[in-house]
């Protein structure tokens, strides 16, 4: 990302959820600076659920430790209980410190990113730009619903059959050589006279 | 082994951000930093207040108040994490780590909390500057955290 690259959030609606009012105001200021079209602020995940049930948003940023519904529970609800395309909405989960019990939940709840503090506007912006170009597939299985957690797809481990249509077999594997030139490909296809 | 279904999707955010227009990264960052900076003084007041609360909880060391430590330290990180508070953030993070591990293991140790809180107060008083003093304090806290991990 260079300083001269462009960011266009002028058509985007962002849902900001934070149970700390001061932190919510700061997040709001940051997104105001990013130039988003609209931001909806929620002081709890349960309030955010009511909003999502009535309207779509383009990005969700959440930092919520409310025992009634925390960030992880909200993400699981969004991914499993809402219809498409709402369930595909990118979610960034912000956290200061993730307790031992929450680390695995963070991996399994289906968020697009877990962003740990300290965070700066530059860090948030980089993550948003990454999301804009995110080509990960959306996975739905009994144990997990959310963006593919394999940011780099090297296929299934050796000796284990793939579970997805796009998984390469262990015999083929990932490409190890550079792609052929178009001229080389043309040469392969070009009909040639063969002297018999 | 469960069957996984995969879908190729293009989010509305990706479609919108691919549209022409918008601002440069440099401009957007500058605007966001300016707006965020307006909160700095209020946040530092809140952070100082949270440390005072931690001091009260740590000095009372009352049975049953252990969960308060993690809650307060975590709330300090939530606020301080928006700004460059350097060693203060590191000390707060260390306290969260220690409190979490002691709570999970059931071996709570108030002196470990108290030393963290004293270090945080000293770092705050020193203007959250990373220097030889804060380095020495953080090194001490790392030893405390390492002990909590064993």
Give the domain ranges of chain B: 40-149
Q: What's the Rg (C-alpha) of chain A?
A: 22
Of A98, A125, A188, which Cα lies nearest the Cα of B96? A98
CATH topology of domain B40-149: 1.20.120
Long-range contacts of B59-67 (CB under 8 A, 24+ apart): B59/B114, B61/B110, B61/B114, B66/B99, B66/B102, B66/B103, B66/B108, B67/B103
Q: Look up the pTM and report it.
A: 0.84
Nearest to B78 among A6, A8, A23 (CB): A23
d(CA B93, CA A39): 30
Contact criterion met (CB < 8 Å) for A121 and B24: no
Of B86, B84, B91, which Cα lies nearest the Cα of B50? B91
Contact criterion met (CB < 8 Å) for A12 and B100: no
Q: What is the pLDDT of residue A165?
A: 66
**What does the pLDDT look like over A80-137, one tens digit per residue?**
999 999 999 999 999 988 877 788 888 899 999 899 899 999 999 999 999 988 888 8
**What does the pLDDT look like over A142-186, one tens digit per residue?**
999 999 988 766 667 777 777 666 666 656 666 777 888 888 888
Contact criterion met (CB < 8 Å) for B97 and A5: no
Tokens of A5: 């690259």
d(CA B135, CA B129): 10
Contact present, A48 and A74 (Cβ < 8 Å)? yes
């Amino acid at each position: 990302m260079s300083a001269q690259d462009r960011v266009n959030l002028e058509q985007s609606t962002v849902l900001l959820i934070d149970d700390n009012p001061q932190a919510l105001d700061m997040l709001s200021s940051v997104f105001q600076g990013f130039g988003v079209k609209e931001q909806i602020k929620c002081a709890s995940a349960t309030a955010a659920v009511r909003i999502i049930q009535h309207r779509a948003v383009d990005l969700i940023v959440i930092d919520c430790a409310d025992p009634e519904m925390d960030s992880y529970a909200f993400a699981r609800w969004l991914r499993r209980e809402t219809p498409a395309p709402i369930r595909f909405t990118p979610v960034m989960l912000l956290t200061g410190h993730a307790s031992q019990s929450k680390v695995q939940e963070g991996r399994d709840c289906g968020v697009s990113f877990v962003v740990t503090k300290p965070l700066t506007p530059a860090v948030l912006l980089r993550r948003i730009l990454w999301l804009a170009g995110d080509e990960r597939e959306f996975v739905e299985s009994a144990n997990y619903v959310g963006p593919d957690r394999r940011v780099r797809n090297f296929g299934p481990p050796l000796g284990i059959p793939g579970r997805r249509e796009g998984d390469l077999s262990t015999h083929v594997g990932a490409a190890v050589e550079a792609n052929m030139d178009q001229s080389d490909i043309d040469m392969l296809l070009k009909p040639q006279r063969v002297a018999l | 082994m469960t069957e996984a279904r995969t879908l190729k999707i293009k989010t509305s955010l990706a479609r919108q951000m691919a549209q022409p227009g918008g601002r440069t990264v440099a401009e957007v960052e500058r605007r966001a930093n300016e707006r965020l900076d307006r909160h700095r003084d209020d946040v530092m007041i809140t952070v100082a207040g949270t440390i005072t609360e931690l001091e009260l909880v740590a000095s009372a060391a009352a049975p049953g108040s252990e969960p308060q430590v993690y809650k307060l330290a975590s709330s300090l990180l939530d606020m301080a994490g928006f700004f460059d508070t350097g060693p203060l953030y590191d000390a707060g993070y260390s306290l969260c780590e220690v409190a979490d591990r002691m709570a999970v293991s059931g071996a709570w140790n108030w002196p470990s909390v108290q030393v963290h809180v004293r270090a945080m107060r000293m770092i705050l008083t020193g203007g959250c500057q990373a220097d030889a003093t804060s380095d020495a304090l953080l090194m001490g806290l790392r030893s405390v955290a390492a002990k909590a991990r064993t």
